[in-house]
Amino acid sequence: MPYPSRRSVVMGTRGMAAASQPLAVAAGLRIMDQGGNAADAAVAMAAVLAVTEPTSTGLGGDCFALYYEAGTRNVYALNGSGRAPRNLTLEQIKREGFESGLPPFHPYTITVPGACAGWCDLHARFGQLDLVKVLIPAIDLAEEGFPVAPLTAYFWQRGAEDQLRHALNGHELLIEGRAPRAGERFRNPNLSRVLQQIAVGGKRAFYEGSIAEAIVSTVREAGGCLSLDDLAEHQSTWDEPLAVTYRHLRVWECPPNGQGLTALLALNILSGFDLASLEALSPDRLHLEIEALRLAFADAFRYVADPSFACIPVEALLSEAYAAKRRAQIHPQRALPAVTYGNPHQGSDTVYFCVVDGQGNACSFVNSNYMGFGTGIVPRGCGFSLQNRGHNFSLDPTHPNAWQPGKRPYHTIIPALATYADDGALYAALGVMGGFMQPQGHVQVMTALADDALDPQTALDRPRFCLHAQRANGLVALEEGIPEATLRALQAMGHPVERVTGMVRALFGRGQIILRERETGVLWGGSDLRADGCAFPLV
């Protein structure tokens, strides 16, 4: 990313796909052209991304999806995240000397990979084509090879240095001990074989049999605790999505254990301010957005957990009364010296992609390993690395997100959807990937769309800020393009800020947006210039 580039918004009517890899976009369009709908295309794209961008995603990770069904105008939430091993306890972790947290690439951080079940469950409920046909593009690319895109090559090399060279079987995702270079063809016949087994046998082929055995034996060899029972017992869940009204739109997120709640909390707070009257990159506006997100993260870090293990006061957290209470804490010209979670009761390296088909069905989808290649540990002969989502568990036994066997951790990956508040018609499928940047990206692109009436590409191109949510000092990164005067003014308000340029701009996430005009059905697509991808219509 040596210099900013400009892209025009992409338009179409028959369908559209947007992703961080053009080959995934091509796969989604191909599936729709063969008669598939948004669900079929989404699974095809997820699989192709697992092949072409293993630096961010794969079968060793998790997924979440929001699906908009045009015929009913209903929104469905799919939780495809995995659970902690059932035979690893917090007491054992503590006995081994881990007090404040697990090391990021430790085999104990490996939770059950939920992506495969998520793909299959989305396809089973909403898809129209045979699963074999849906997975053929990914199977072929893995077998025949593909030219590695420039930014993917950069992050692949970082993953080689950070994880793959040191992890068990990590060499399977390298070429003679190094990452593939930009434009170099990379073949992954092991992954092709795994995908073929899933195409024929569905999710059981992954969670039982030879693939499951390879996962478990490799994890055990690395010192982890995952068992065959952990894999065989895994299942996705269909959950009730969360939504708030922001301006004329309903904004939808998956519920906890995902952090979509964070974006909704911040939007609820910001709904009481007239952001449209403030210049987009002015210090006054960015100050309000930063403070709203600081308050939202404080609540999310306290309350977001696996709802099967913790009582989460979602309704109270998203109430107008609680939003007003939190909003009142924001000083218009001064940063809060400290932010703690509130009491709502009276008395957190990922791929995001989206697709909208010609009938108006839409899928907003996130698939991720976490921290690039996750642990970097590769099940022998399988061609994918295993995630490290367990790193997000708290080791404080009193915390709602404390490690427990069979529990899902606080999850950073969050897709989003927006519908019109008055009639439920689809407005947009959207998302911004990238760890704890994701809810911040959702807030920033939603305000760009709803308050400033920007088109999707322009909304994605706008420079962003990133609050380092897990740092006590609340450091705020400002992307190149935000005026120097704004930086100085934010400092004067009490915000610790830093300027970020070059390749480090990956910190600000990589988003995709497909917007659908209610009256005409015309699709407007945008793809983040911070990634290798694109948005493209079906022709």
* Residues recognised as catalytic: 350
* Residue 424 C-beta-side C-alpha neighbours within 13 Å: 9
Structure tokens at 131: 């699963």
Answer whether 260's CB lies under 8 Å from 439's CB: yes
DSSP run (H or E) holding 398: none
| Alpha helix segments (H runs only) across 421-482 | 438-450, 456-461
Output the CA torsion 478→511→12→243 (10° steps). Answer: -100
Rounded distance between C-alpha atoms, residue 114 and residue 257, angstroms: 13
CB-count exposure of residue 517 (10 Å: 0-12, 13-18, 19+): middle
Which neighbouring-strand residues pair with 185?
147
Spatial neighbors of 484 by CB under 8 A, at least 6 apart, are: none
CB 25 within 8 A of CB 118: no
Amino acid at 333: Q
Number of separate helices (H) and strands (E) present in the chain: 17, 19
Q: What residue ranges in 303-425 does DSSP mark as E strands?
A: 350-357, 362-368, 416-420
Q: Which amino acid is at 91?
A: E
Rounded CA gap, 198 and 237, in Å? 20
Q: What is the three-class DSSP state of 245?
A: strand
Select from 76, 64, 37 the least CA-distant residue to 252: 76
* Distance of alpha carbon 36 from alpha carbon 30, whole angstroms: 9
The SS3 of residue 60 is coil
CA atoms within 13 A on the CB side of 183: 0
Which residues face 350 on adjacent strands?
Answer: 368
What φ, ψ does residue 230 adopt, rounded to 5°?
A: -55, -45
216/79 Cα distance (integer angstroms): 23
Tokens describing residue 246: 């922001």
Separation of alpha carbons 75 and 197, rounded Å: 31
DSSP 126-168: H--S-HHHHHHHHHHHHHH-EEPPHHHHHHHHHHIIIIITTST
Residue 294 corresponds to which tokens in the numbers above?
């600081």
State phi, psi for 400 to the nearest 5 degrees: -60, -25
Q: Are strands 15-19 and 242-246 parallel, antiparallel or unpaired?
A: unpaired
